[in-house]
Amino acid sequence: SDLKMNLAQSTKEEEKQEVDLIFEPEDNISTLVEKGCRLNMNTVLKTYQLINIDTLEQSIDLLNNASTIYLFGVGGSSVIGLDIYQKLMRIGKKVIYNADLHVQMTFT
């Protein structure tokens, strides 16, 4: 619910700021690169503003102390699931992941 409130409050101001970031047919390559850069910077800033340090620390502790980590992801999220699976495996965590939804349903 906090996320919904933050998004609702920030939408009006952000709409005003981002109007000039819309890609237009007449934009030259330099303008497109600048707008793309600013869009990425805005995304990183918005993500940073949503981070709750206490929740992040708790999440890290849970992952660090878990005997087994189960990952779930379907469609586009399956790519992200596979990415975090590989990263966690490299640092020695026991991770279980399968991109098939029906197999994921058996993990419970």
Torsion sign (Cα): 68, 69, 74, 78: negative
**Residues 20, 47: one domain?**
yes
Q: What is the dihedral of CA 53, 59, 64, 66, to 10 degrees?
A: 160
**Residues 13, 47: one domain?**
yes
Range of the domain at 28: 2-51
Residue 59 lies in a domain: no
**pTM, entire model:** 0.60
End-to-end CA distance of the chain: 27
Q: pLDDT tens, 33-66?
A: 998 999 999 999 999 999 999 999 999 999 999 9
Residue 44 lies in a domain: yes
Closest to 21 (Cα-Cα) out of 50, 49, 45: 45
- Most confident stretch, 9-13, 65-69, 78-82: 65-69
Share of the chain above pLDDT 70, in %: 80
Closest to 34 (Cα-Cα) out of 21, 50, 18, 51: 21
**Residues 7, 45: one domain?**
yes
Q: pLDDT tens, 23-38?
A: 888 889 999 999 899 9
**Residues 11, 36: one domain?**
yes
**Residues 46, 82: one domain?**
no
Domain count, the chain: 2
Name which of 69-73, 84-88, 100-104 the model is least confident about.
Answer: 100-104
Residue 61 lies in a domain: no
